[in-house]
Amino acid sequence: MRLLIVEDEPRMATALQRGLVAEGFTVEVAFNGPDGLHLARENSYDAIVCDIMLPGLSGYRLIEALRAEQNWVPVLVLSAKDGEYDEADALDLGADDYLVKPFSFVVLLARLRAVLRRGVRPRPAILSCGDLSLDPAARAVRRGETEIELTPREFSLLEYLMRRAGDAVSKADILHHVWDAHYEGDANVIEVYVGYLRRKIDLPFGRHAVQTVRGAGYRLASDGG
Amino acid sequence: MRLLIVEDEPRMATALQRGLVAEGFTVEVAFNGPDGLHLARENSYDAIVCDIMLPGLSGYRLIEALRAEQNWVPVLVLSAKDGEYDEADALDLGADDYLVKPFSFVVLLARLRAVLRRGVRPRPAILSCGDLSLDPAARAVRRGETEIELTPREFSLLEYLMRRAGDAVSKADILHHVWDAHYEGDANVIEVYVGYLRRKIDLPFGRHAVQTVRGAGYRLASDGG
DNA sequence: AGCGTGGCTGAGCTGATGCTGAGCCGCAAA
DNA sequence: TTTGCGGCTCAGCATCAGCTCAGCCACGCT
């Protein structure tokens, strides 16, 4: 297991390095943001442990830059801040976990192991299919540059379809996940809402992202139509 | 997005439920461990939010039980304990994240989103014979680059033939698997549907993937014709 | 070559499926 | 109270999938 530590405070960096080496990890250290980004680009790490407050380039920007390059290496963020919105920001930006300083080494180790166990897989904070994108945190949907207004129900329907983009999704599945497990009503609501969605995200753009798979359900084209 | 909350304290449970429903999630609540486990077994949730201290069955045991059954639904653990080893335990047991009470709703939401974002969904393999391929999840069939539209019945017939590619499959077998074990009708339906299939996957491409084995049934050429 | 059986197909009926516009209800802001 | 909006139901319509059937074709046997 090969780790990169990005941490500007020398004592903290050294302590982390020693501890993790003692646990059997191979560890490299960068003391500022740009160096960290450079190392992360050039090498393939199993995980990155990254401070937020960094000279040159903040931890946020570092993660953002990596994710923009489709680099999904697990990142564990360390921060002296304890404002809750910082944490929310980091996770929505694509960090994998978050620790507030001071933290105990045991907790760091446990979280690092949890993060490593999950391994690398693409998980963009913003869902996108072609030029169609949906940001769950911001509750925003856009086709290219055009912002699209959706009602809450329309939004969850699209979110569910986008999370399963490319799959044919049955109406029963949709009813369970977007409406309620015990929803008693007619599955016709889905047809109605699919209609609403199409009128907002497809028709004005001459696209066909939301496809009917007769007898099976619906499918969102993974290329956005 | 469908969630299960397992929380015995009624005020906490209600608060969570309200907040998450307001965020657009579909939420079910269990007030003790055994109920939670039962619901988690019976239904397919996108994530579970689970207290540690539960009557009947602790959160630890609940996760352990699910994981033992190969159920990898993401679990976010809540706990009033703050001993660091508890956290390490929960993560090592297979929880996906951990929050210590009291926590803010914003943080819960951010972590929940992070956990949902990396949610796994193992996809069934794509069946293929030569340049003919069938994706059961996407309900899509293609010959080379050309997408082919099939009706549900045609689709299951082709799927069955592809799963037994190279074998001669009797009409009785087909009737049994593609129609119904208790199907009463004439086996002539099969001939009709084989005809439809050929017109869609063979004739336009000058191929002969679906072969008649006179007196025995049909065979799908394992090289796709 | 003739014949019978197994296999194929076009026509057509029927119920199922999906889509849409109209309209109701409840809630919340004006 | 009125207005607007989101959520939903419903009925009507168009289309389609599933199936049956009758008649034809072709394979393989004598």
Burial class (CB in 10 A: 0-12, 13-18, 19+), B82: exposed
Is strand C in 7 Å reach of the CB of A215?
Answer: yes
**Straight-line distance from CA B117 to C1' C16, in Å?**
37
Chain centre distance of CA A111: 18
Average of pLDDT values for B93-101?
76
Is strand C in 7 Å reach of the CB of A217?
Answer: yes
How is residue A109 written in tokens? 């180790």
pLDDT at A121: 52
pLDDT at A203: 94
* Rounded alpha-carbon distances, angstroms, from residue B15 to A111, A146, B11, B200: 28, 36, 6, 55
Residue A60 confidence (pLDDT) above 60: yes
pTM: 0.68
Residue A196 confidence (pLDDT) above 90: yes
How is residue B78 written in tokens? 């809540």
The rounded percent of chain A whose pLDDT value lies above 90 is 43
* Positions on chain D within 7 A of a protein C-beta: 5-11, 16-22, 27-28
Contact B49, B96 (CB under 8 A): no
DSSP string across B28-90: EEESSHHHHHHHHHHS--SEEEEESS-SSS-HHHHHHHHHHTT----EEEEES---HHHHHHH
Chain centre distance of CA B78: 26
Contact A210, A161 (CB under 8 A): yes
Average of pLDDT values for A186-211?
95
Contacts of A193 (CB under 8 A, 6+ apart): A153, A154, A157
For A112-138, write each residue's pLDDT tens digit. Answer: 888 887 766 555 567 889 999 998 877
Contact B112, B156 (CB under 8 A): no
Is strand C in 7 Å reach of the CB of A61?
Answer: no
Lowest mean pLDDT among A44-48, B6-10, B90-94, B115-119: B90-94
Q: By CA distance, what is A119's nearest residue in B?
A: B118
Do the Cβ atoms of B91 and A106 come within 8 Å?
Answer: no
**Helix, strand, coil share of chain A (percent; to 5):** 45, 20, 35
Contacts of B16 (CB under 8 A, 6+ apart): B5, B7, B27, B49, B108
In 3D, which of B174, B169, B173 has the Cα closest to residue B211? Answer: B169
Question: What's the CA gap between B161 and B164, in Å, rounded?
Answer: 5
Average of pLDDT values for A66-84?
76
* Rounded alpha-carbon distances, angstroms, from residue B202 to B132, B189, B222: 10, 19, 14
In 3D, which of A195, A68, A171 has the Cα closest to residue A128? Answer: A68
Lowest mean pLDDT among A34-38, B105-109, B204-208: B105-109
* Closest approach of A177 to chain B, Cα-based (Å): 5
Do the Cβ atoms of A125 and B137 come within 8 Å?
Answer: no
Do the Cβ atoms of A166 and B121 come within 8 Å?
Answer: no
A-B C-beta contacts closer than 8 Å: 95
Residue A206 confidence (pLDDT) above 80: yes
Q: Which helix (H) or strand (E) segment is A171 a member of?
A: helix A171-174
For B169-200, write each residue's pLDDT tens digit. Answer: 999 999 988 998 788 778 899 999 999 999 99
**Straight-line distance from CA A89 to C1' D12, in Å?**
50
- Chain B CB contacts of A189 under 8 Å are none
DSSP string across B143-168: ETTEEE---HHHHHHHHHHHHTTTSE
In 3D, which of B172, B169, B174 has the Cα closest to residue B154? Answer: B174
Question: What's the CA gap between A198 and B213, in Å, rounded?
Answer: 46
pLDDT at B88: 55
For B32-80, write each residue's pLDDT tens digit. Answer: 999 999 999 888 888 999 998 888 888 888 887 887 676 788 899 888 7
Strand B2-6 relative to strand B47-51: parallel, antiparallel, unpaired?
Answer: parallel
Question: What's the CA gap between B29 and B32, in Å, rounded?
Answer: 9
